[in-house]
Amino acid sequence: MLPDPRRAIAERVYYGWIIVIGALLATTAVYGTSYAFGVFYDVFIEEFDVSRSVLAGVFGLQTALIYIVGVGAGRAVDRYGQRAVAAVSSALFTGGLVWAALSRSYLELFAAYGFLTAIGMGGLFVVSFATIPLWFETRRATASGIASAGLGIGMVVFPLGTELLISSAGWRQAMFGIALLAGILCITFTAFFVNRPSEVGADASVEFDGGESPFETIDARSTQRTSLASNETITSRPFLLVFLGWVLLSMPIYIVISHVVSYATVIGIGRSQGVLALTTVGVAATVARFGVGILADRVGRTRTFIACTSLLGAAMVAIAFAPTPAVFLGTIVIFGVGYGGCGSLFSPLVADLFGHEDLNTSFAVMSLSFAVAGLAAPPLVGYWFEITGSYTGSFLLAGLGAFIGAGCVAVASRLN
């Protein structure tokens, strides 16, 4: 039998960092694909002869299913392990993208891109995010920030590449290109993944001050009961407040992802500036995820999360009134920093506030807040535009909502 290369790696470096790199690849594939939808927006409207609000339903369904499926994926992880869930999810994800490229009707696109692809995304999402806090404590926010940087990298690489492929070869070839890249990233992620440190001989206690790691706690009780987030936790006032806060702060994110290209076109800045805005958000978010994670480990993860949420809300309000392309892109940079900071702290926040017990499932339940925001915000903003002919009011309300979301998290952290 050939030696396991993962064990050889674990002898030289704490294997948790390999898990981080793998999660970085998976989040790049998942969110790069999701962010690319805004580039396809106008093309799909013309190809399938649907309205903005109807087309937004594809993005809304995909976003909602990622997090709805995530709850089931969290349970599957507890039963079958992260690697098995990652492998099945990768196959569904890439298969859905190939089907989307072959779609001949809106309903087929809806089923392929909005449904099948989203099921795969949901499993990859849970494995990528909820696993990191189990491998890290001392450098939890730093590790989570690096892993989640795939959201920013995906926003840079996929929209730009998609725009180039659409203009040179057509939207179907662009979708095939996304499927190929996503498949390569997901295969690499799965190949190097392990379910727990003991599989490769890694010593997780180096991250837990020499004490017991969460994996030891999970293994100790695995024979006693099936892993489920306790009802007491998920129905508690702090949990529900954080859930509401995440709904409100996520709405601006999904609005920008799905509508910023159209918004830039409508206000006269131009489609190219809208695509550039998506890329700019990605760059700013990526840089922020690396820096904010390190800062949060030093000054406090919850405090840093609240500050980033407030920054995101302020930027959303400013975008609604941006008078020139320069100001527009400047506010987009600020938005990206706030978004990146929040994204790097999502899973550490759940672990810090509600503990490691049943973390895969409790994180997935909390992430249903993303489903609510992603399902509601893009279609509502599209409908608002069809009624008023403007995006300004909806952008302003979303920004104000983010401030309220920051307040919810602040109150929850004091009650917990």
User: Cα(136)–Cα(227) distance, rounded to whole angstroms?
Assistant: 20
- The CATH code of the domain that includes 202 is 1.20.1250.20
Let me know: does 124 contact 29? Beta carbons within 8 Å. Answer: yes
pLDDT for 335 equals: 92
Let me know: does 168 contact 152? Beta carbons within 8 Å. Answer: no
> Hey, what are 15's tokens?
């294997």
The label of the residue with tokens 């790199």 reads: 21
Centre a 10 Å sphere on the Cβ of residue 237 and count the other Cβ atoms it contains.
11
pLDDT for 366 equals: 85
Of the listed ranges 182-186, 209-213, 218-222, 404-408, the least confidently predicted one is 218-222
Reply yes or no on whether the pLDDT at 3 is more than 80.
Answer: no
User: Cα(323)–Cα(321) distance, rounded to whole angstroms?
Assistant: 6
pLDDT for 223 equals: 40
Q: Evaluate the CA torsion angle 352, 353, 355, 361 in order and state its sign.
A: negative
pLDDT digits (tens, 9 = 90+) for 219-247: 555 444 444 445 677 778 888 899 999 99
Residues in the chain: 416
263 within some domain:
yes
4 within some domain:
no
CA-CA distances (angstroms) from residue 87 to 94, 104, 121, 131? 11, 28, 11, 15
39 within some domain:
yes
3 within some domain:
no
32 lies in which domain range?
9-415
Reply yes or no on whether the pLDDT at 376 is more than 50.
Answer: yes
Note the pTM of the prediction, 2 decimals.
0.72
CA-CA distances (angstroms) from residue 161 to 61, 132, 265, 392? 24, 29, 20, 29
Residue 346 pLDDT class (50, 70, 90 cuts): confident
> Hey, what are 160's tokens?
């730009």
CA-CA distances (angstroms) from residue 25 to 81, 184, 189? 19, 9, 6
22 within some domain:
yes
User: Cα(135)–Cα(227) distance, rounded to whole angstroms?
Assistant: 18
CB within 8 A of 272, min separation 6: which ones? Answer: none
28 within some domain:
yes
Q: What is the mean pLDDT of the chain?
A: 82
Reply yes or no on whether the pLDDT at 400 is more than 80.
Answer: yes
- 3-state percent helix, strand, coil for the chain, nearest multiple of 5: 85, 0, 15
Highest mean pLDDT among 38-47, 79-88, 364-373, 398-407: 398-407
User: Cα(388)–Cα(396) distance, rounded to whole angstroms?
Assistant: 14
Highest mean pLDDT among 6-15, 306-315, 379-388: 306-315
pLDDT for 219 equals: 53
Q: For the chain, what is the domain count?
A: 1
Angle, helix 237-266 to helix 368-388, in steps of 10 degrees: 40
pLDDT digits (tens, 9 = 90+) for 23-66: 999 989 988 888 787 788 778 888 888 777 677 777 777 777 88
117 within some domain:
yes
User: Cα(124)–Cα(246) distance, rounded to whole angstroms?
Assistant: 20
DSSP secondary structure, 246-280, as one string: HHHHHHHHHHHHHHHHHHHHHTTS-HHHHHHHHHH
User: Cα(102)–Cα(112) distance, rounded to whole angstroms?
Assistant: 9
Q: How far is CA 303 from the centre of its chain?
A: 21
More confident residue, 203 or 181: 181
pLDDT for 358 equals: 64
User: Cα(136)–Cα(176) distance, rounded to whole angstroms?
Assistant: 36
Let me know: does 411 contact 241? Beta carbons within 8 Å. Answer: yes
Q: How far is CA 274 from the centre of its chain?
A: 21
| Across 192-206, average pLDDT | 79
Let me know: does 101 contact 172? Beta carbons within 8 Å. Answer: yes
Residue 315 pLDDT class (50, 70, 90 cuts): very high
Burial of 400 (0-12, 13-18, 19+ CB in 10 A): middle
Let me know: does 136 contact 16? Beta carbons within 8 Å. Answer: yes
pLDDT digits (tens, 9 = 90+) for 162-192: 888 888 888 899 999 989 999 999 989 888 8
φ and ψ of 264, to 5 deg: -60, -35
User: Cα(265)–Cα(228) distance, rounded to whole angstroms?
Assistant: 47
Residue 92 pLDDT class (50, 70, 90 cuts): very high
More confident residue, 386 or 405: 405
CB within 8 A of 168, min separation 6: which ones? Answer: none
216 within some domain:
yes
Centre a 10 Å sphere on the Cβ of residue 231 and count the other Cβ atoms it contains.
8
pLDDT for 217 equals: 56
